[in-house]
Amino acid sequence: RKVLVLNGPNLGRLGMREPEVYGSTTHQELAERCTEAGSRLGLDVEVRQTDHEGELVGWLHEAADAGWPVVLNAAAWTHYSIAVRDAAAQLPAPLIEVHISNVHKREPFRQHSVLSDIARGVILGLGVDGYLLALRWLADHVADNAG
Ligand code: DQA
């Protein structure tokens, strides 16, 4: 079963970017950990990252049309992009929102997500392991024939 892992702006700079907040794992390593965990779990995981909002919106449309579950770290767009929310709201399969950092320990502008109320669940503050936990949940809860 196919699952998309979608990462928003600045996440391509993981490993270099504020390592005290986001850790030392690079986006490439994150992508490898997700695809490896996916194959152990029987999931065909594809990881994509973009700094362009319209590109993320297009990927969400693709997932909506294909019926793929999505693990989404929309990064800064989480906090204000109604366009990303409206695209994510079209997904027929579960959406899991992931954040590497515990946004509730951080600045007030990170405390609100425009995605959380349409997500099946939210995982935050557990570093890049949060993506693997999301994949484990999808493997356990989403039927093989559901898209
Ligand atoms: C983030 C948290 C966001 O507030 C921030 O803009 C990011 C990353 C996280 O994974 O902790 O870019 O989504």
What CA–CA distance (Å, rounded) separates 59 from 82?
Answer: 15
Does residue 17 have a known ligand-binding role? Answer: no
Question: What pLDDT was estimated at residue 147?
Answer: 45
Residue pair 81/51 in contact (Cβ under 8 Å)? The answer is no
Full pLDDT tens readout for the chain, 147 residues: 999 999 999 999 999 999 999 999 999 999 999 999 999 999 999 999 999 999 999 999 999 999 999 999 999 999 999 999 999 999 999 999 999 999 999 999 999 999 999 999 999 999 999 999 999 999 999 976 544
Question: What pLDDT was estimated at residue 144?
Answer: 67
Which protein residue has the closest C-alpha to ligand 1 atom 9?
Answer: 99
Amino acid at 51: D
Residue 131: active-site member: no
Residue pair 9/73 in contact (Cβ under 8 Å)? The answer is no
What 3-state DSSP class applies to 100?
coil
| Best probe residue, ligand 1, of 100, 107, 112, 123 (max atoms within 8 Å of C-beta) | 100
Catalytic residue among 99, 104, 112, 131: 99
- Cβ < 6 Å from ligand 1: which residues? 10, 73, 75-76, 78, 99-101, 103, 110
Query: Buried b / exposed e across 116-142, counting CB within 10 Å, b at 16+?
Result: eeebbebbbeebbebbbbbbebbbeeb
pTM attached to this predicted model: 0.96
